Structure 1
Amino acid sequence: MRRSVFGGLCAALLLAAGWIGSSVAGDTPKRLVMAVTPSNIPTELFKAGEVFAAELAKKVGIPIKVYMPTDYLGVVEALRNRTADMAFVHPAGYVFANREAKAQIVAVDVWHGKTSYTSRFYVRKDSGLKRLEDLRGKTIAFVDPGSTSGYVYPMVMLIKKGLVKDRDPKTFFKDAMFAGTHEAALLALLNGSVDAVASFDLAPQQYLKDKAKVERIVHVAETEPIPEAGMCVREGLNPALVAKLVESLMAFNAPEYRPILKDFYGIDGFAPARDSDYDPVREAIDLLGWRPRR
């Protein structure tokens, strides 16, 4: 019963994505390259990615090499240039990868039992700042221009509330910077370098770990739900290979793989994904008027 349910789940996912029934042969590389979005400490993420890739390669039957670009949008470039065959993409990264490289989402992350999360504006608890409007004239650290929770959704919230003009954060904040990672943004807040940061809903618990540090931070605003990150594949891969990849990813939902996933992106497993799941992210990006560099 369990096997038949699992098989039906994968079949439905692939049919919805257009992989089943495709008449295009596509590429079957002798080695796959998996790009990872550098949202965590690069050295630790790369090491954990190699462990995950080695296990995934056993299931797919093809060696997998890990590639980590220097920033979020480097993943999009790798898919567009076909220097990467598949990638762990954050929501905005997937929308750009789909638009720019015709990549297709094949699985979504499950994190704390959900396939969505939110972004929050964080401040120090002793700052006296209580509302989003209180951040006027203050300094903020975003994460990366390609980060959904660390830039896109927070900026859209500011625009919709009429706090930011001409899509320029400096029309509301005294200064705005990009910290590069969620952890770096939170540390900048704690050490007083900035007055506020934008990051995802459980970022303090995930990166600070020290309860005393977590308790020094509170949030003053929260965005609408954001569809989770996931795995996408480049255009032109053999549909049979993609089907095997999806089946292999779903196999990671077994309890014995939880330590590997936790060390990698801190996720619980994978679930079926559809391109249309990311339409709210497309709308947010369009409102922001933001396009990836070329």
Structure 2
Amino acid sequence: MYQQLFCKVVDSFPNRKAIFWISGLAIAIFSTACTPTRESSSATQPITAESPGSVPNQAEDEQATLTMAVIPWQVTTEQEKQLQPLANYLTQALKRPFKFQITKDYDQAVEALIQGKAELAYLGPSSYIAARLRDPKIEPLVSPINQDTKRPWYTSVIITSNSSSIKTLQNLKGKRFAFVTKLSTSGYIVPMAHFQDIGINPEQDFTKVIFSGSHDKSKQALAKGEVDAIADDRRSYTEQVKQGKFDPRKYTIIWESVPLPSVPIVASSKVSIELKNALKKALIDAPAGLIDPSGAIGAGYTLVQDGDYDIVRDFQKRVTTK
């Protein structure tokens, strides 16, 4: 139901820029009448735009560096290189320094946003929901459009090694399995909800369960033979296949979820409406083929709102109440 409605809404507009300007008009009209009602804490890795020029005649706060906390989808060194062009573009588009801060884990990204250490964050849907529970004024702005599907969604998948002889989900019993983290939508929440639906209890039915901390590390564990199967994001898996890091002949996707709303770029409650709108415009107008915060080659961005993530809230309720 969610994905069908989502498709109709997206398909009803001729292009992404139309969505932005229509949403902007709605914001302008309603704003005149309404009042806006764990693990280690090791240092994060900042990626700042190279040689950002100063902007004359701007107030001091308008010259301050904008920071976006990013969840760890890739190995840190690779993610740094891939994010640099986007940092440079946003510095030019916003006329102020912009940097990315790759966090150690999902929790650290949420904390950076909540504690004001970052004005923005690229959070998984479940991480965004967790952050909004702590600060209801946190707002999702845009999300990347998937290059393969040309839609603002992605899916959760379960991938097995062909050497394990696993053909069905029931064959996972007695095997070793890797989730990403309990805050990962595709790497835990959604596949866990499905396991419960079909009567699989990972803690009891699997011989080993690990939480790798990132999608990249889960795939590494599968490639090294440390586990027999993993929960992953299909876009992340596809991207590594394209890069030649994963041989699809050695692995099989044995399950795929319904479409899930894409990972949002989120603004803290301290970000002004003017800056939010400037960020939306800059990202909607971003050049084609520019790497998005996940490290994937994107097909642009589309506007999102809190209600788009209700399907993920439904999955969370199924997992946390059983």
Percentage of pairs with the same residue: 26
The equivalences for 1:110-121 within 5 A come to 110-112=145-147, 113-121=150-158
Instruction: Give the match's secondary structure for 1:264.
Output: coil
Residue 223 of structure 2 corresponds to residue 186 of structure 1: no
Cα deviation, 1:64-92, whole Å, max 9, x if unaligned, reads: 12212110121111111011101111211
Q: Which moved further from structure 2: 149-158 or 194-203? A: 194-203
**Would the alpha carbon gap of residues 18 and 157 (structure 1) be closer, same or farther in structure 2, given more than 3 Å must change?**
farther
The equivalences for 1:103-182 within 5 A come to 103-112=138-147, 113-164=150-201, 169-182=202-215
Q: Structure 2: state its 5+ residue gaps.
A: 1-13, 37-60
1-structure distance, mates of 2:16, 2:185: 30
Cα deviation, 1:247-289, whole Å, max 9, x if unaligned, reads: 111111x33xx14449833322101212111001111122222
Instruction: Give the match's secondary structure for 1:218.
Output: strand
1-structure distance, mates of 2:26, 2:296: 26
Aligned position for 1:224:
258
- Quote the offset at 1:156 in angstroms: 1.1
- Quote the offset at 1:150 in angstroms: 1.1
- Quote the offset at 1:151 in angstroms: 1.1
2-structure distance, mates of 1:119, 1:263: 15
- Quote the offset at 1:101 in angstroms: 2.9
Aligned position for 2:58:
none
Q: Which moved further from structure 2: 208-217 or 143-152? A: 208-217
Aligned position for 1:13:
23
- Quote the offset at 1:158 in angstroms: 0.7
Aligned position for 1:247:
281
For the 8 Å contact 1:125–1:217, the answer to whether it is kept is yes
**Would the alpha carbon gap of residues 17 and 35 (structure 1) be closer, same or farther in structure 2, given more than 3 Å must change?**
farther
* Matched residue type, 1:136: K
- Quote the offset at 1:110 in angstroms: 0.3
* Matched residue type, 1:79: L
Q: Which moved further from structure 2: 27-36 or 59-68? A: 27-36
Residue 96 of structure 2 corresponds to residue 65 of structure 1: no
Aligned position for 2:249:
215
Cα deviation, 1:204-258, whole Å, max 9, x if unaligned, reads: 3322443872111002222222111121100131111111111111111x33xx1
Aligned position for 2:115:
81
- Quote the offset at 1:126 in angstroms: 3.4
Q: Which moved further from structure 2: 8-17 or 275-284? A: 8-17
**Would the alpha carbon gap of residues 17 and 108 (structure 1) be closer, same or farther in structure 2, given more than 3 Å must change?**
farther
Instruction: Give the match's secondary structure for 1:215.
Output: helix
* Matched residue type, 1:218: T
1-structure distance, mates of 2:240, 2:16: 33
For the 8 Å contact 1:17–1:106, the answer to whether it is kept is no
Aligned position for 1:275:
306
Pick the aligned partner of 1:49 from 64, 70, 83: 83
Measured on the aligned residues, the alpha-carbon RMSD in Å equals 2.7
1-structure distance, mates of 2:299, 2:79: 16
- Quote the offset at 1:36 in angstroms: 0.9
**Would the alpha carbon gap of residues 194 and 248 (structure 1) be closer, same or farther in structure 2, given more than 3 Å must change?**
same
- Quote the offset at 1:187 in angstroms: 2.6
* Matched residue type, 1:10: F
- Quote the offset at 1:51 in angstroms: 2.8
Q: Which moved further from structure 2: 48-57 or 277-286? A: 48-57
* Count of residue pairs brought into register by the alignment: 278
For the 8 Å contact 2:180–2:211, the answer to whether it is kept is yes
* Matched residue type, 1:109: P
For the 8 Å contact 2:16–2:301, the answer to whether it is kept is no
For the 8 Å contact 2:70–2:293, the answer to whether it is kept is no
Instruction: Give the match's secondary structure for 2:68.
Output: strand
Instruction: Give the match's secondary structure for 1:155.
Output: helix
Query: TM-score w.r.t. structure 2 length?
Result: 0.78
For the 8 Å contact 1:204–1:214, the answer to whether it is kept is no
